[in-house]
Structure 1
């Protein structure tokens, strides 16, 4: 009802101009975060193991349609959050614009990114990770490589992407290039990424494949030579929904590591959902400098209870691949509107 009122108000305000649709949506989340890594010898005196984690997000979507049936629109996001005891901060995203017709959509600006849009990459939870805020997203099989994603933190990637859907097929290609920071260099090229994602859904099953090439980004030393850390990223995923139960398998290969994640989902009663996952990562021993990935096994569990009215109780536990001080627990509320 609230969304309808927002859209109606926007239509009245634009009387006499081309009819446009304005939607305001978002969510809020808040809870407690216990992180064992914050309570170890050598940590700062003002670093506590237990902190508040919170976020409030507003997304503004505007669109209009030409006489020929082409949709033109834009998106911008406002967000404020507090994590791990750090001072709260508020940001506005850079804009994303789109043109769509039939099954084709083209985004320009703060793009979504082909890999970030791949089904099976994230968990089917309110945070798309574990707990209230994702808890580090250790369930992702892609390790050590960056990829494009819509960001709320100021300037986005600055790119263009095309998404085409027909029946159970979706194809997504994206390209971005990040300009350098003013005053720091006159010659250095910005990070450049090109990615492709293909997905096919049939009945209660899906399969996904994605690939990314990159230049001018972070480098590591591998086999005695400098290698682009974001280059040659391969991601594969498949999943199924068996009614009360579901499962997803994802595999990824980067210049730093090979990784596999298995996640299982179960509906418990009428309002509860439990998702458990395990990730196994094998680092590339040929990387002699710049390695950012930890070898080993990580696992986690997420519990959600639907309280109605768009409110969900969320609790999560994660044990990372680190040998010590790698446990964290979160619990809180998530509400959407």
Structure 2
């Protein structure tokens, strides 16, 4: 698949340093979005245009000893449910927080807007272009880590709009094994005597062999947000557990994933199949057992995603989701990368 890549190479003046690279890449996506749940929001239409344009800047340089220093920033603009992006500083149409890294051999250490150990676990997201269903993921009902009212993203992850976790992480890969540890801390208040900010520590271990992989991840948190459920105070970001097994047999693929938080436990079964040389279909079902039976995420959701490779880096995407709250969602559009 052809990829248009703009790159500039500049010689670093310091002796003993290799060339420094700056690469620009990204993608665009746009399509029609129908979301039955919008009927519950006053003034919001159930049918809208969904879109995103992302530019990504990757910079790196390598020493004579083979140590690679790198950085990444993104700029993106998007529109979902008739809401054109975020107005907060660092939001749409501006750069996000930078991630800096250093790599040598199989070891990588990143600081700043880190990836996050749970976020990097194989099998967490679906095997589609949007990593969810449809052109923009459609609220990611397929994710097996749930909180009250669905996905809360209670774990550290690379933030394409904001400043990110501003943490530190180490990743190591060797002979089918991948280990990932991440840590972040919110410094909390700005005056003496205010409470400490939240601190998150996460670990992920994955082993890949032949056409299979197994993975597990866990996050602990201190001073994080709490919620009272059934008279009991729970910590929404502490004790997050994830595990998955999956396989890719070329034309066919499958995975089973499980997630658990103090608010809900959930599992997702997914299967995908290539149809001919250009088409792919993904089917998934998710079952969530929430601590509150009236929670909108409690129950079973399922979805189907279809992709057709148009060539030249463009893909036609269509998807349908029936949520645990029995709301229907549908999207169709085009994704193209450059």
Bigger Cα displacement from structure 2, 104-113 vs 66-75: 66-75
State the SS of the aligned residue for 1:90.
coil
1:74 has 2:71 as partner? yes
Are residues 15 and 225 of structure 1, via their aligned partners in 2, closer, same or farther at CA, if it must alter by over 3 Å?
A: closer
State the SS of the aligned residue for 1:32.
strand
1:311 has 2:311 as partner? no
User: Which residue in the other structure is 1:263 paired with?
Assistant: 270
1:99 has 2:102 as partner? yes
Deviation, 1:295, is 1.1
User: Which residue in the other structure is 1:327 paired with?
Assistant: 328
1:155 has 2:155 as partner? no
Deviation, 1:237, is 0.1
Structure 2 runs not aligned, ≥5 long:
86-91
Cα RMSD (Å): 2.1
Of residues 236, 245, 252, the one that matches 1:245 is: 252
Q: How does 1:126-275 map to 2 (within 5 A)?
A: 126-144=129-147, 146-180=154-188, 187-222=194-229, 224-275=231-282
Are residues 50 and 186 of structure 1, via their aligned partners in 2, closer, same or farther at CA, if it must alter by over 3 Å?
A: farther
Determine the C-alpha separation between the residues in 1 that align with 2:212 and 2:303: 24
Instruction: Tell me the matched-pair count.
Output: 323
Determine the C-alpha separation between the residues in 1 that align with 2:128 and 2:185: 31
Determine the C-alpha separation between the residues in 1 that align with 2:84 and 2:190: 27
Structure 1 runs not aligned, ≥5 long:
none
Deviation, 1:279, is 0.3
State the SS of the aligned residue for 2:140.
coil
Determine the C-alpha separation between the residues in 1 that align with 2:196 and 2:31: 41
State the SS of the aligned residue for 2:165.
coil
Determine the C-alpha separation between the residues in 1 that align with 2:317 and 2:144: 23
Are residues 21 and 38 of structure 1, via their aligned partners in 2, closer, same or farther at CA, if it must alter by over 3 Å?
A: same
User: Which residue in the other structure is 2:49 paired with?
Assistant: 52
Determine the C-alpha separation between the residues in 1 that align with 2:205 and 2:305: 28
| 8 A contact 2:3–2:313 mirrored in 1 | no
Are residues 320 and 84 of structure 1, via their aligned partners in 2, closer, same or farther at CA, if it must alter by over 3 Å?
A: same
Normalising by structure 1, report the TM-score.
0.90
Bigger Cα displacement from structure 2, 300-309 vs 209-218: 209-218
| 8 A contact 1:91–1:152 mirrored in 2 | no
User: Which residue in the other structure is 1:84 paired with?
Assistant: 81
Normalising by structure 2, report the TM-score.
0.90
